[in-house]
Structure 1
Amino acid sequence: MKDQELKIIQTAIINELEGYEFYKMAHEKTTDPAVKEAFSTLAEEERKHIEWLKELFEKVRDSEEDVIKLSMMDNPPSPNIFQWENLDRTSASLAVSVFGIGIQMERMSVEFYENAAKRSEITAARSLFGTLAKWEQVHLDMFSKEYDKLQNTWWADQGFAPF
């Protein structure tokens, strides 16, 4: 039973590491200071998730009681990472690409954690994976909203807008 949860957590750590590396790369590639800061903040948040998941791995491995305590976490608030009004729309092409990839990553993370919750045999672990899915859903919602705005800006810049 614990082996399944441990494998799920290991995969989650890899997913978060990939997110960390992606946001770090996006930070390095963009020239817009507000976007740079946003990606830096996201990378740091992913790094914190990695540390938290490593701690979770040890607790699941060593004691189910600690998992129950971790499963009592509150639902995640919006991290308010982006100050969208400060985004430089002149670099919309890069931003559209980066946000599009970010949306795909976050969507896959939500699905991963939702499926992990369904597969887990430990009640507290199911709750915990549900919380992780909510964390990633917050990011997905933020990215999707901004992606739509950026896409419209990009279309207008390219002369594709019907208005």
Structure 2
Amino acid sequence: MTIKELELLKVAILNEVEGETFYRLAAEHLSEGEIRTLLIHLADEEVRHQETMRKLYADLAAGKEPLPDDLDMDLIPSTGIFDLMKLGQVKSDLEISVISTGVLMEKASIDYYNQAAEQADNKAVKELCRYLAKWERDHLEKLEKIYDYLKSDWYEQQGFSTS
């Protein structure tokens, strides 16, 4: 165990807690619909990330040398959780703001996990960070598509030219 890995994991866990909190708070302020459902799903995934990292942190702090195979790193496909065609029109400016902020958060998470993977000496920490970067990239791609859709719809509602 090194202090470096524990520090990397502490920061990563806090990032996931912040993401979960943001997505849940945002979902509470939106009416029922596809975006609210997506935000709750993202919050639940952030919890799963936290649980995996907390287990790894506890093992490392106890002096164990966990192997990547010991970690729960199965990507849960979430492609069916969200369908752009079900979105309809933008219901509130909050929807666009939340998705835009989510994009920024996911980009920051990807950057952090990529840097942490480079810095980590422990193989399990390194693999987990790479895995989480991939998972966050999946979140980012979904959020970017949604943002583009919402932005286009918002422009249209405002009477702005989309060209």
Q: What TM-score comes out, normalization by structure 1 length?
A: 0.88
Task: Give the equivalent residue in structure 2 for 1:29.
Answer: 29
Task: Give the equivalent residue in structure 2 for 1:156.
Answer: 156
Question: Matched residues in 2 for 1:59 and 1:67: separation?
Answer: 10
Instruction: Find runs of 4+ consecutive structure 1 residues off by over 6 angstroms.
Output: none
State the Cα distance separating 1:72 from its structure 2 match.
Answer: 8.9
CA RMSD of aligned residues (A): 2.0
State the percentage of identical aligned residues: 33
Task: Give the equivalent residue in structure 1 for 2:119.
Answer: 119
Task: Give the equivalent residue in structure 1 for 2:10.
Answer: 10
Q: What TM-score comes out, normalization by structure 2 length?
A: 0.88
Task: Give the equivalent residue in structure 2 for 1:60.
Answer: 60
Structure with a larger share of its residues in helix: 1
Point out where structure 1 has 5 or more consecutive residues left out of the alignment.
none
State the Cα distance separating 1:7 from its structure 2 match.
Answer: 0.7
Deviates more, 1:116-125 or 1:102-111: 116-125
Task: Give the equivalent residue in structure 2 for 1:79.
Answer: 78
- CA distance 1:39–1:72, change in 2 (3 Å): closer
Q: Contact 1:78/1:138 (CA < 8 Å) preserved in 2? A: no
Question: Matched residues in 1 for 2:33 and 2:72: separation?
Answer: 37
State the Cα distance separating 1:13 from its structure 2 match.
Answer: 0.8
Q: Contact 1:8/1:116 (CA < 8 Å) preserved in 2? A: yes
Task: Give the equivalent residue in structure 2 for 1:41.
Answer: 41
Deviations 1:55-98 (A, max 9, x none): 1111222311x233246945x35423323322242315222111
User: Number of residues paired by the alignment?
Assistant: 161
State the Cα distance separating 1:36 from its structure 2 match.
Answer: 1.9
Task: Give the equivalent residue in structure 2 for 1:98.
Answer: 98
- CA distance 1:122–1:140, change in 2 (3 Å): same
Point out where structure 2 has 5 or more consecutive residues left out of the alignment.
none
The DSSP-based 3-state class of the residue aligned with 1:101 is helix
Q: Contact 1:107/1:140 (CA < 8 Å) preserved in 2? A: yes
Question: Matched residues in 2 for 1:17 and 1:95: separation?
Answer: 21
